[in-house]
Structure 1
Amino acid sequence: MDSYAGVIEAFRNAGLYVDDKGNQAFCQGPGHSGQDRSVSVTRTQGCTLIHSFAGDRTEDVLAAVGLTTADLYDNKRGVDYCYPDGRVVHRSVDKKFRQSGNTEGSALYRADRLPDLTVTVYVAEGEKDADALATVLGVPAVSAAMGAQNPSKADWSPLSGRPVVAVVDDDAPGQRWADQIRELVGPIAESLRFVKAKVGKDAADHVAAGYGVADFIPADPTPRGRRLTLVNADQVEIEKIQWWEPGLIPSGSLTLLAGRGNAGKSTAAAAWAAIETRRGGHVLWLHSEESRSRHVKPKLVAAGADCTKVHFLEVTEEGTDARLSLPDDLPALRDLMSDNQIRFLVLDAVTSFKAGNKSGDKQDEIRPFLEGLNRLADDLGAVVLGIAHFNKGTGREARLLVTGSTAWTDVPRSVLGFARDDSTGGGVITDVKGNLVAVPRSLTYSFVTVTVPVGDDATEVGRVVFGEDTTTTVDDLLNRSRDEGSDEDDSPRGWLSRFLKNGPQPAVNVYAVGGEAGYSDRQLRNAHRNVCGRPENMKAFVKREPGSTTGPWVWRLPSQEWPWDKSTEEGSPIDDAAIDDKKPLYANLSNLYNLAGQKGFSDVIFEKNEDDIDAIDDITQETGHLGRHLPIDEPIPLIPVDLCECGDPAVENETLCLNCQLGGK
């Protein structure tokens, strides 16, 4: 579908005069003067750009002519940017990105279309900007994968000896990007100068407003001068540590809350947040794993929080939902907290808010993220609680069990370990870092059930009640559990074997669920090699569906067959999935792949009903998975979904059935 033609037709149907120049059109309202330009419509690769000269939001302009943001894309699922080395970057309608193909490649986008060395090449921050420059203005343009996040991983050698113009986004990340481009491209280019958009933030905005390359405004990427100054120790005033919770939570510092699933970390954070509101303070709760309405607020209400003093955060970019990315968004976050007198911040889970291209396992990549949170806490004198997970390792000290780099425990000033005590039904919290006090403190806690009103109904929610100090530590409980032994292998290999026991799974699902269970991507990959046997056999056990170059990689155990090798009975795919008793996994998987593809979905994840829900269905949306319930031989704990209410006695009060999930979509 040609989105450009569709948008032009909608404007004409709405009574606007359209001056269509082929790749760009200018639309005026009735009674136009011939010179007025109300809205511009611009065709680029796979999508259409809208610019309102009156400053109206794109969503409002589209709504006025009966369109939505999805109508700006030739493909309603978004646009694919194909790199010359096989990398494919997928941009969704709501500006979420994922990659496939050669994701380790270093080629520049559109590098294979560069002319001879005498022609000036434009460098833009993102693929959308490069396409706008190339397709509308007709100039050679390139960009690197991941935009401003990590240009150092790209191969800039195709720009060697060429005159280059870098178009800088008008924001803080754009300035940092420009500084890196100067260092990476400046030494090899024949010349390098920097410009910025005359209108809007980036090159796409500039082009959409009808401006050309001659209209760019010169930009100075030179960073502010730096100087080194000595400060004598006798000029520094000693400050006493201010404790928000004595021996556990210091003010002005980052505190990490770590433990295994169901240990009560976020429930305890809710109890502490409630105390802050009752003291008159304001709380900012940033969440990624739990639903705001079904999980976070009920926990806060159950804990007795004054919800008029609890705040959540919405992030938008170009009018669409986006995610907080730290440390890039730290200045804005600091200003927001300062302006609203917020001195208590919860990040649940803290790993969800680091920049997407930063590894949690690499110390030099995770330290700037955590150190930024420490500076924010120090600047505001605030409490910052970050919730993290223990891995399934065999280290006997709790601080060594935090998933990822040692920076997760090195940088925070306090690390609170959580462990359940099977003998009491409650648990123990211990300062497992213990470098702020002579004797680390341990505190008991228990769980109670509180009834929380929901409209005319009510629901039961867990609440943490803090008890007395104890000499029992989190290390004691973890070691006691380990010493008592278990018949279940909790190594990465043991977990993976159980996870794949019921059949092949897309690798993205293994990473998503394995991460929730406390295993890193590296541990899971190593476990898969061990499960499969010899490394040279890996290709036999990791495979895409035949004919697919962009679909998910699928993992299986050596003894299992590929799901697409199985045929199903004739008839409705949904009916086949429901009646195939012999091989429900294979039948459902192949049927669901077909149905999901027809309806615009991508990946599939197995679901089951959990009595004790920890993870929630929102995860399937945030990680881009299609959450669907499939019958499995032996239930395994994965991401739960809502209960089915379709009235079918065969599935009533079970997780959503295939008919309910796909039938009406």
Structure 2
Amino acid sequence: MQRRTPQQPGWTVELTAAVNIPVEKIQWIWPGWLPRAKLSILAGAGGCGKTTLAISLAARLSRGAGWPDGSIGDAAGNVVIWSGEDGIADTIIPRLIAADADLNRVHVIEGLRDQSGNRRQFDPAANFALLNEAAARIDGVSLLIFDPLINLIRGDMHRANEVRQGLQMVVDFAERHCCAVLGISHLSKGSGQSSAANRVIGSQAFSALARTVLVAEKDQNSEARVLVRAKSNVSIDSGGIEYFVEPVVIGEQLETTCIRWGEAIEGSAEAILAAIEQTNSPIPASAIQEACSFLEETLQAGPVAITALKSLAEESCISWASVRRARKKLGIRSHKTGMQGGWALGLPTSP
């Protein structure tokens, strides 16, 4: 039986020749990582410090500071944060202070208030549209953080149609205000999925609608954590950065946490995550010592690019996991070879 298409009287399809559509370049909050006017997702398993990580990025933006990979920061911008899981006064604000945020530029959604002064809780799924007027009151917003993102979905987060409907208003907000929207989500365990981005919990519509998916994970054999680009429709989708969640005491008694950023990591998101998610027994001391000897001999003549070093390690049958631990033992740090160059390792210089 022939399927009939419903008619829509009064409407026509608008067609524009591609030659008449001016091109636009992608605008960035964090170049290559966090685009303006787009929805991005930061996903991670419990314990990897997702919220602290997002706050660290918000703090840098609020001051117009440089980014963890060395890229130059843009002008300082306003940040709006909604948190459905962490306390504002005892968790969010202390972490912002520890991250050295400009608190005048960071705004936290505390609830709703009417003209009579009555107050009630902010419901992301029902009240999101009110953020348009709120953004205008603070003279614009550069970054909107939602933690967790699933609270924007009224229905079943495993149903693609309901996820798309719930997130469309977020996508529209990002475009309207030319701001980045960063939604925080959880990550399913295991690496059986073909793509790290597909491990974001809920319907795959979450990662499909997001232009960038960042994944955070903790190393099973150390306190190190990594942030990787698991998906990007607007930039490269490889590489990562090491980071650590460290305790901080503000004043004399207020305990909180902050992010200490480490070094760049090259490779695909899947390869980086697979390396740190190994739950085998710790690497034998003999393997680490072998890696130490390898680094001392290879770097004796001077710094070597990380990509070349990985190939040399593979030829010597030394795992990169062993090399990473040997680097820490020897105090070897990476450095960038020029503004456009890659990352290299060199032996520490004597004081």
Tell me the TM-score normalized by structure 2.
Answer: 0.67
Select the structure of larger CA radius of gyration: 1
Aligned to 1:315: 111
- State the SS of the aligned residue for 1:290: coil
SS of corresponding position for 2:85: coil
Name the counterpart of 1:334. 132
Cα drift, residue 313 of structure 1: 1.7
Whether the aligned pair in 2 keeps the contact of 1:421 and 1:477 (CA below 8 Å) is: no
Q: CA deviation at 1:345?
A: 0.7
Q: Distance in 1 between matches of 2:98 and 2:143?
A: 19
| Pair 1:463-2:258 in alignment | yes
Secondary structure of residue in 1 paired with 2:157: coil
SS of match in other structure, 2:169: helix
Determine if contact 2:219/2:276 at 8 Å carries over to the other structure. Answer: no
Alignment of 1:256-405 (within 5 A): 256-279=41-64, 280-316=76-112, 319-326=118-125, 328-340=126-138, 341-355=140-154, 358-392=155-189, 395-396=192-193, 397-405=195-203
Q: Tell me how far apart the structure 2 counterparts of residues 440 and 481 of structure 1 sit (CA, whole Å).
A: 16
The aligned amino acid for 1:262 is: G
Q: Tell me the amino acid that sits aligned with residue 54 of structure 2.
A: A
Q: Structure 2: how far apart are the matches of 1:439 and 1:403? A: 20
Aligned to 2:293: none
Contact kept in structure 2, 1:337 and 1:343, CA below 8 Å: no
1:295 match: secondary structure = helix
* One of 435, 438, 452 as aligned partner of 2:250: 452
Aligned to 1:503: none
Q: Partner of 1:240: helix, strand, or coil?
A: coil
Instruction: Describe the SS at the equivalent of 1:441.
Output: strand
Report the CA distance shift for 1:317/1:299 in structure 2 as closer, same or farther (over 3 A).
closer
The CA distance in 2 between the partners of 1:352 and 1:439, in whole Å, is 27
Unaligned runs of 5+ in 1: 1-224, 487-665
Matched, 1:441 2:244: no
Q: 1:309 to 1:482 in 2, by over 3 A?
A: closer
Flag the 1:365–1:249 CA change in 2: closer, same or farther, 3 A: same
Alpha-carbon shift at residue 252 of structure 1 (Å): 1.3
TM-score, normalised on structure 1? 0.36
Which whole-Å deviations, capped at 9, do the CAs of 1:317-347 have from their partners, x for residues lacking one?
Answer: 7734133233x53432122213322221110
| Cα offsets for 1:530-558 (capped at 9, x unmatched) | xxxxxxxxxxxxxxxxxxxxxxxxxxxxx
The amino acid across from 1:336 in the alignment is: A
Per-residue CA shift, 1:389-435, capped at 9, x if unaligned? 01235524321211100011000100001111244422111110133
Once residues 316 and 435 of structure 1 are traced to their aligned partners in structure 2, the CA distance between those partners, rounded to angstroms, is 35
- Note the alpha carbon deviations across 1:278-331, whole angstroms, 9 max, x for none: 1232111101000001111111111001112211123337734133233x5343
- Cα shift at 1:477: 4.9
State how far apart, in whole Å, the 2-side matches of 1:298 and 1:447 are: 14
Structure 2 vs 1, CA of residues 233 and 481 (structure 1 numbering), >3 Å: closer, same or farther?
same
How many residues in Structure 1 have an aligned counterpart in Structure 2?
Answer: 256
CA RMSD of aligned residues (A): 2.4
Q: Name which of 391, 410, 434 aligns with 2:208.
A: 410
Q: Look up the equivalent residue of 1:259 and give its one-letter code.
A: G
Alignment-derived partner of residue 36 in structure 2: 251
Q: Deviations over 1:588-616 (max 9, x none)?
A: xxxxxxxxxxxxxxxxxxxxxxxxxxxxx
- Pick from 270, 281, 284 the counterpart of residue 475 of structure 1: 270
Deviation at 1:372? 2.0
Contact between 2:220 and 2:279, CA under 8 Å: does it hold in 1?
A: no
Q: CA deviation at 1:468?
A: 2.5
The one-letter amino acid paired with 2:180 is V
Give yes or no for contact 1:274–1:303 (8 Å, CA) kept in 2.
yes
CA distance in 1, matches of 2:80, 2:108: 6
Question: Whose relative contact order is higher, 1 or 2, with alpha carbons under 8 Å and at least 6 apart?
Answer: 2
Alpha-carbon spacing, 1:449–1:315, altered in 2? closer, same or farther (3 Å): closer
